[in-house]
């Protein structure tokens, strides 16, 4: 039983390279790169053919592939001719998981493009970073105005880096409600110094003035604090979704928690305004210390004059705009950005809700609920999971799965307590008494005993997967094998750019695949015995045999 992660990218020569990664479970969860294949077309059928050839070369049955994780492109998740649909035709219970990391990136993309204020904020930060970096003269001014000895610079916002927006925003404005450490004052003073350089062209000086005036606007500060608050919840989730070896329940729980947190702050505009006021107070104090600067950050939104429409007697106006600029910002910007984030997460992450509900019952943290309810489970519990498992074991009916789960929940506390090898004893001698006392010292636990992987390991340790809980063992294998991200493919592409660069652009497909496997799966390479490798190389020819043996 295994799941597959598949993705493509272009190398330096412009050729499409397909990375195939398998996720499987033995004594732990493993993700292994098995092939880097050059592909000529990127249709769903060509990907199925490519994967079939790779699996046949590895002597793996494609019917044991329980699911796939892709980036959600149309050739991957097309309803009729997509890769996932064609894989499902070979295995009816095949699960397609839209990579959680890609989905979260799309959620943030929808959020940052929902209103013009958010787009102008990140465009402003990116334009300033590019503007300063494009000239040695401007970089020199930055190093002169910067108070940091390392001369930290603001970052550009790249589309391929999912953390780029948060990183660039935090460098300039600091953290939410805590502006210390931000480079806002240095950026403003640098732009002001560039404006005064008469040796520069007038268009560059005009750009510097426009960028500076944009930073000093209260609307910019408000929007920056709003997104800093959103990123406080989404960035930890994004980083976790890019780690290896995670389980689907922990990731889904973090997604649910992040969604609930964003829902709670969806109407908490006063907290954002207080953080913006705190930033304005800090920035103005810093700017006052600059003797050569006569600048001040706006402390409020400018009031706009509203055009009154003529209304006939007895007519009700339907399109009245808000007269208060602060209230208008709260409704049109703050509420819309957070509502977009909440709705996008709710819409994009609930594809496998019923199956995840069944899988959540396998989490040890939910065993006390089964114990307190007397082992009673809902009638519909484990039905979706049973449909996925009955293909591999005809005994995996809903009734039998519920019976084994109830029994395991009742026995779980005793199984955990019997892990005595996770603790060590230490003899402590006290000179005053002259007696030896045994002190039990808690050692760093080798497993948390509160996750599905720990549950599977304990059942494996006591040999309970064969007779006592065979169906639950199959269920835990399914849970741990199902992949929810394909960031392992993205990491392999980063290695690909190091191996196949412009100096090695003529590498053959077979040699490129070998180098990729050696670079990524280093633990497997190190585990090989040197004598075995020498014997295999010596078998290639008689000349090598004479030299090596």
pLDDT (0 to 100) of residue 214? 92
pLDDT (0 to 100) of residue 432? 42
In DSSP terms, which residues pair with 29 in a beta bridge? Answer: 25
In DSSP terms, which residues pair with 24 in a beta bridge? Answer: 2, 30
Q: What percent of the chain has pLDDT over 90?
A: 10
pLDDT (0 to 100) of residue 437? 38
Task: Assess contact for 62 and 1: CB atoms under 8 A.
Answer: no
Q: Is the pLDDT of residue 417 over 80?
A: no
Sign of the torsion formed by the C-alpha atoms of 321, 327, 328 and 334: negative
Q: Is the pLDDT of residue 106 over 70?
A: yes
Q: What are the pLDDT digits (tens) for 376-406?
A: 777 788 888 888 888 888 888 988 998 888 8
Higher pLDDT, residue 268 or 349? 268
> Does 249 reside within a domain?
yes
Higher pLDDT, residue 421 or 264? 264
Mean pLDDT estimate for the chain: 82
pLDDT (0 to 100) of residue 349? 79
Report d(CA 259, CA 263) in Å as an integer: 6
Report d(CA 365, CA 451) in Å as an integer: 8
- The model's confidence at residue 229, banded by pLDDT at 50, 70 and 90, is very high
Same domain for 263 and 209: yes
Total domains present in the chain: 3
Same domain for 468 and 407: yes
Same domain for 490 and 442: no
Report d(CA 108, CA 121) in Å as an integer: 14
Q: What is the pTM of this model?
A: 0.75
Report d(CA 306, CA 68) in Å as an integer: 55
pLDDT (0 to 100) of residue 449? 64
Other beta carbons less than 10 A from residue 31's beta carbon: 21
Domain boundary among 458, 481, 504: 481
Q: Is the pLDDT of residue 64 over 70?
A: yes
Report d(CA 209, CA 191) in Å as an integer: 7
Q: How far is residue 298 from each of residues 267, 276, 302, 387, measured CA to CA in Å? A: 24, 10, 9, 61
- The model's confidence at residue 510, banded by pLDDT at 50, 70 and 90, is confident
Report d(CA 36, CA 506) in Å as an integer: 16
pLDDT (0 to 100) of residue 139? 87
Same domain for 153 and 110: yes
Same domain for 374 and 492: no
Q: What is the CATH number of the domain that holds 529?
A: 3.30.420.10
Report d(CA 228, CA 110) in Å as an integer: 16
Q: What are the pLDDT digits (tens) for 12-29?
A: 888 888 888 888 876 677
Other beta carbons less than 10 A from residue 213's beta carbon: 13
Q: Is the pLDDT of residue 153 over 80?
A: no
Q: Is the pLDDT of residue 418 over 90?
A: no
H helices of 433-485, in order, are 452-461, 470-481
> Does 313 reside within a domain?
no
Same domain for 90 and 60: yes
Q: Is the pLDDT of residue 523 over 50?
A: yes
> Does 252 reside within a domain?
yes
Same domain for 250 and 125: yes
Report d(CA 95, CA 77) in Å as an integer: 11
Report d(CA 140, CA 199) in Å as an integer: 14
Within the chain, what is the greatest distance between any pair of CA atoms?
A: 108
Same domain for 219 and 178: yes
Q: Is the pLDDT of residue 411 over 70?
A: yes
pLDDT (0 to 100) of residue 278? 93
In this prediction, residues 108-132 reach a mean pLDDT of 87
Q: Residue 38: phi, psi to the nearest 5? A: -80, 130
Report d(CA 47, CA 76) in Å as an integer: 9
> Does 312 reside within a domain?
no
For residue 395, how many C-alpha atoms fall within 13 Å in the half-sphere facing its CB? Answer: 11
To which H or E segment does residue 163 belong?
Answer: none
> Does 294 reside within a domain?
yes
Q: Is the pLDDT of residue 444 over 60?
A: no
| DSSP annotation of 500 | S
Report d(CA 37, CA 50) in Å as an integer: 8
Report d(CA 98, CA 90) in Å as an integer: 19
Q: What are the pLDDT digits (tens) for 318-369?
A: 555 666 788 888 888 899 999 998 988 888 777 667 788 888 888 888 888 8
What six digits make up the tokens of 316? Answer: 């009700």
pLDDT (0 to 100) of residue 434? 44
pLDDT (0 to 100) of residue 238? 86
Higher pLDDT, residue 350 or 111? 111
pLDDT (0 to 100) of residue 506? 83
H helices of 41-80, in order, are 44-57, 74-77
Angle at CA of residue 452, ends 446 and 457, nearest 5°: 50
Angle at CA of residue 204, ends 200 and 205, nearest 5°: 75
- The model's confidence at residue 223, banded by pLDDT at 50, 70 and 90, is very high
In this prediction, residues 163-190 reach a mean pLDDT of 88
> Does 310 reside within a domain?
no
Same domain for 131 and 79: no
Same domain for 77 and 114: no
Secondary structure of residue 533 in the 3-state scheme: helix
Q: What are the pLDDT digits (tens) for 462-495?
A: 888 888 888 888 898 888 888 888 888 888 888 8
Secondary structure of residue 303 in the 3-state scheme: coil
Nearest CA to 405 out of 493, 356, 469 is that of: 469
> Does 276 reside within a domain?
yes
Secondary structure of residue 402 in the 3-state scheme: helix
pLDDT (0 to 100) of residue 271? 92
Same domain for 220 and 109: yes
pLDDT (0 to 100) of residue 224? 92
pLDDT (0 to 100) of residue 421? 45
Q: Residue 478: phi, psi to the nearest 5? A: -65, -45
For residue 446, how many C-alpha atoms fall within 13 Å in the half-sphere facing its CB? Answer: 11
Q: What percent of the chain has pLDDT over 70?
A: 88
Task: Assess contact for 362 and 479: CB atoms under 8 A.
Answer: yes
pLDDT (0 to 100) of residue 228? 92
Domain that holds residue 48: 2-98+486-548
| DSSP annotation of 178 | B
Q: Is the pLDDT of residue 374 over 80?
A: no
Burial class (CB in 10 A: 0-12, 13-18, 19+), 442: exposed
3-state SS record for 199-259: CCCHHHHHHHHHHHHHHCCHHHHHHHHHHHHHHHHHHHHHHHHCCCCCCHHHHHHHHHHHH
- The model's confidence at residue 245, banded by pLDDT at 50, 70 and 90, is low
Other beta carbons less than 10 A from residue 465's beta carbon: 18
pLDDT (0 to 100) of residue 150? 64
In this prediction, residues 529-543 reach a mean pLDDT of 83
Q: Is the pLDDT of residue 274 over 90?
A: yes
> Does 517 reside within a domain?
yes
Same domain for 364 and 506: no
């Amino acid at each position: 039983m295994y799941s597959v992660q598949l993705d493509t990218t272009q190398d330096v020569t412009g050729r499409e390279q397909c990375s195939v990664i398998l996720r499987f479970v033995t004594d732990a969860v493993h993700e292994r790169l098995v092939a880097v294949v050059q592909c000529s077309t990127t249709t769903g059928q060509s990907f199925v053919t490519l994967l079939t050839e790779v699996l046949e070369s590895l002597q793996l049955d494609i019917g044991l592939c329980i699911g796939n994780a892709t980036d959600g492109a149309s050739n991957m998740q097309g309803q009729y001719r997509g890769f996932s649909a064609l894989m499902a035709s070979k295995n009816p219970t095949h699960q397609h998981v839209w990579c959680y990391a890609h989905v979260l990136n799309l959620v943030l993309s929808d959020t940052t493009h929902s209103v013009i204020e958010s787009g102008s904020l990140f465009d402003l930060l990116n334009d300033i970073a590019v503007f300063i970096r494009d000239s040695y003269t401007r970089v020199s001014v930055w190093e002169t105005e910067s108070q940091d000895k390392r001369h930290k610079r603001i970052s550009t916002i790249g589309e391929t880096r999912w953390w780029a927006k948060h990183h660039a925003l935090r460098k300039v404005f600091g953290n939410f409600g805590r502006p210390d450490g931000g480079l806002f004052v240095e950026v403003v003073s640098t732009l002001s110094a560039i404006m005064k350089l008469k040796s520069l062209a007038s268009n560059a000086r005009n750009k510097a003035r426009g960028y500076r005036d944009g930073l000093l606007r209260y609307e910019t500060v408000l929007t920056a604090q709003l997104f800093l608050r959103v990123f406080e919840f989404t960035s930890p989730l994004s980083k976790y979704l890019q780690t290896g070896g995670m389980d689907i329940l922990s990731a889904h729980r973090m997604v649910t928690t992040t969604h609930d947190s964003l829902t709670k702050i969806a109407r908490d505009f006063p907290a954002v305004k207080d953080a913006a006021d705190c930033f304005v107070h800090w920035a103005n104090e810093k700017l006052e210390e600059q003797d050569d600067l006569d600048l001040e950050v706006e402390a409020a939104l400018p009031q706009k004059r509203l055009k009154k429409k003529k209304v006939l007697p007895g007519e009700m106006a339907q399109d009245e705009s808000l007269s208060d600029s602060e209230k208008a910002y709260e409704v049109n910007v703050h509420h819309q950005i957070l509502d977009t984030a909440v709705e996008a997460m709710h819409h994009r992450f609930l594809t496998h809700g019923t199956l995840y509900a069944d899988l959540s019952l396998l989490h040890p943290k939910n065993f006390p609920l089964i114990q307190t309810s007397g082992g009673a489970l809902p009638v519909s519990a484990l039905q979706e999971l049973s449909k996925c498992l009955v293909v591999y074991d005809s005994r995996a009916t809903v009734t039998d799965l519920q019976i084994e789960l109830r029994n395991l929940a009742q026995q779980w506390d005793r199984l955990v307590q019997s892990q005595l090898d996770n603790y060590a004893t230490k003899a402590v001698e006290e000179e005053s008494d002259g007696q030896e006392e045994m002190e039990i010292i808690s050692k760093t636990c080798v497993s948390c005993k509160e996750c599905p992987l720990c549950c599977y390991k304990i059942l494996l340790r006591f040999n309970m997967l064969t007779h006592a809980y065979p169906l639950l063992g199959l269920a835990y294998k399914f849970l741990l094998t199902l992949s929810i991200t394909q960031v392992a493919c993205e990491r392999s592409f980063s290695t690909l750019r190091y191996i196949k660069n412009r100096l090695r652009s003529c590498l053959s497909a077979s040699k490129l695949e070998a180098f990729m496997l050696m670079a990524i799966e280093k633990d497997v390479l190190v585990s090989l015995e040197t004598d075995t490798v020498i014997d295999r190389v010596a078998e290639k020819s008689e000349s090598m045999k004479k030299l090596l043996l």
